[in-house]
Amino acid sequence: MSCGCLSKRRGDKHPNWRRGFTVTPDGYREIPIPGCTGPHRYKSEHRAIMEKILGRELASWEIVHHINQDKLDNRPENLQVLSRSEHAALHAALSAGGVV
């Protein structure tokens, strides 16, 4: 069971600090993992919130989608769990409809 510490992400894409959380270059908010001191001590806030809602850890193939497309809007009602393929299909449909 990993807390995400062992993620291979390197410091070259250094996230920006903003009051207690970071925003990654691809626009996701990350929060510190309590008690974790590994090289990657942060996890995506939207995934952490969804794990809390589900009461279990998300599998690596499970994607938490932002329903309104705002990656910083991590309200539970804006989050939806999809498989990787469902998520790709949804985004393909959204961009085909002109809404990205």
* Closer residue to Zn ion, CB minimum distance, 14 or 75: 75
In the complex, minimum distance from the CB of residue 73 to Zn ion, in angstroms, rounded to a whole number: 12
* Distance from C-alpha of 52 to C-alpha of 23, rounded to nearest angstrom: 20
| Closest residue to Zn ion using C-beta atoms | 65
Of 40 and 65, the one with the shorter C-beta distance to Zn ion is: 65
Residue type, 100: V
Smallest gap from residue 39 Cβ to Zn ion (A) = 27
- The secondary structure element, H or E, covering residue 1 is none
How far apart are the C-alpha atoms of 13 and 56, rounded to whole Å? 29
Nearer to Zn ion, 5 or 81 (CB): 81
**Footprint on this chain of Zn ion (rule: CB under 5 A):** 65
